[in-house]
Structure 1
């Protein structure tokens, strides 16, 4: 089989998604830049805002790449499913933990927001909230988070836990069943706050996209690319 989607391709796609993410967080609402003088020439302001809103699809791109890459990684594993999940969790979150510590340090030294976010309901709840946010579980348990965009870290935890289950189905060549499962899941999500792919911060909204990436990893669409 010809390798049609290699690791470099995935990295390039991640780069595009990151650019879209930055654009989205800078211009998706006029409130984000109302204090600054910005020229949108030769485009109209509303066009730029609408494009920035659409750029929320960057999350779907991340979810798709995650589904593809994690399945390939799991297929190459030389350990048990639990050991693979733990190893992947540490690898995924090691960079996040560095960022968390730096941001927490800055907030403690220069601002009082760290204490306000976590310890507004008591010291023990605060300690638990810090731990859950650091571990990427804040969105899963509905606890306070230092940065709202970290909701995706909880989604990453869900994706890692899903991989062993998905791989079994994919290995048994039952990925067609997964496609129908995605359809029914989408119907269910359409009646929740996770109903909008481009507008939701739900950790479950992008599971169908994640599953799509997993399916592509085991079919002829992107054969043996990693």
Structure 2
């Protein structure tokens, strides 16, 4: 009995949601993202013929729900950054703690923007040849206004400042920057006041305070949930939790509970209170998806490897897929007619481009440059 309890405790202390599972979840999220963008509304595939085995309404309904992928990316970012904060000694003096947090934030920002800027410049260059006139149409021809718009877009801040952007998908990088800046504060506050007061405060702020950027409001609570789950090792504890004694029965029960909860929350999220409670739905649903995936999906060996591979390249796929789908090869993408084939082909195209981008980085020693910049900033 005592040995069993010790084993259970060790299982709960070991975080199941490590790098491998994080990449797997990114793989899930990028598939949902591609599906969402392809079939969100009928105008997304206007002029194209789709072959469906069910009413078109359900395709659009499911694709609309798949915007939950944004919450998954936000959750992963908040969770990973919190784990990094937990590895730091936050009980040290204020000066040392400030320096450590500053180094963490700066290194994360360099990696985030470094990845984005490299792909951004390649996309801009490709657009000159594949969609001539697109850049001047987007940023204008008046100098220095067009240069300022270009720089803001390149830094992922166009949506925040409401300036022109080459494609609307880039809005996420403003949120990603916010997550890097807010998570250390969230973690320190959580550690100081406890989980319940922290979530109560976040909830009040989310529904009372007016946010300049609606996307920050939408995912504010989701980021907080990611921090809380990392701090309390919630995912691991739930996966190892026994609701009943039988192992098979426990798995079946949890599978049914999580699946049913996800279905109910999907219906509620797409219901009449979607706008009013958007931030709530998109904070709770990711947690259920993560628990379900970690307990059932990611334990399937081949599927795990496929999702992990997609997750590793998910950032570049995120950046290039909409250009392939909308700007460059629209007719080709939708020529496969069946939604599953369309998504698979677009994923494959985007993956090939993503791998090429990473190979180019290696050739140019780009990642070494980013590491050199990070090192310089830490020594400053």
TM-score, structure 1 as length reference: 0.86
Which residue is 2:27 aligned to?
15
* Secondary structure of the corresponding residue to residue 218 of structure 2: coil
What is the CA-CA distance between 1:212 and the residue it aligns to?
0.5
Q: How far apart are the structure 2 equivalents of 1:173 and 1:222?
A: 22
Deviation per CA, 1:170-193: give whole Å up to 9, x if none: 332533222012211332379998
- The structure 1 residue matched to 2:134, chosen from 100, 106, 113, is 113
Which protein has the larger Cα radius of gyration, Structure 1 or Structure 2?
2
* Secondary structure of the corresponding residue to residue 20 of structure 1: helix
Q: How far apart are the structure 2 equivalents of 1:38 and 1:55?
A: 19
* Structure 1 residues 219 and 190, CA gap change in structure 2 (3 angstroms): same
Moved more, 105-114 or 29-38: 105-114
Which residue is 1:33 aligned to?
45
Judge conservation of contact 2:36–2:63 (CA < 8 Å) in 1: yes
Q: How far apart are the structure 1 equivalents of 2:55 and 2:213?
A: 31
Judge conservation of contact 1:63–1:210 (CA < 8 Å) in 2: yes
Q: How far apart are the structure 2 equivalents of 1:167 and 1:191?
A: 21
TM-score, structure 2 as length reference: 0.53
Q: How far apart are the structure 1 equivalents of 2:213 and 2:121?
A: 31
* Secondary structure of the corresponding residue to residue 234 of structure 2: coil
- The structure 2 residue matched to 1:161, chosen from 174, 181, 190, is 181
Aligned residues: 215
Judge conservation of contact 1:189–1:205 (CA < 8 Å) in 2: no
Which residue is 2:223 aligned to?
210
Judge conservation of contact 1:77–1:84 (CA < 8 Å) in 2: no
Deviation per CA, 1:183-220: give whole Å up to 9, x if none: 113323799983xxxxxxx2431111011101111004
Which residue is 2:171 aligned to?
151
Deviation per CA, 1:7-45: give whole Å up to 9, x if none: 21111111111111100000010011122111111x221
Specify which structure has the higher proportion of helix. 2
- The structure 2 residue matched to 1:140, chosen from 160, 170, 174, is 160
Alignment of 1:24-173 (within 5 A): 24-41=36-53, 43-76=54-87, 80-110=100-130, 111-119=132-140, 122-173=142-193
Q: How far apart are the structure 2 equivalents of 1:222 and 1:49?
A: 31
Q: How far apart are the structure 2 equivalents of 1:193 and 1:161?
A: 15
* Structure 1 residues 8 and 32, CA gap change in structure 2 (3 angstroms): same
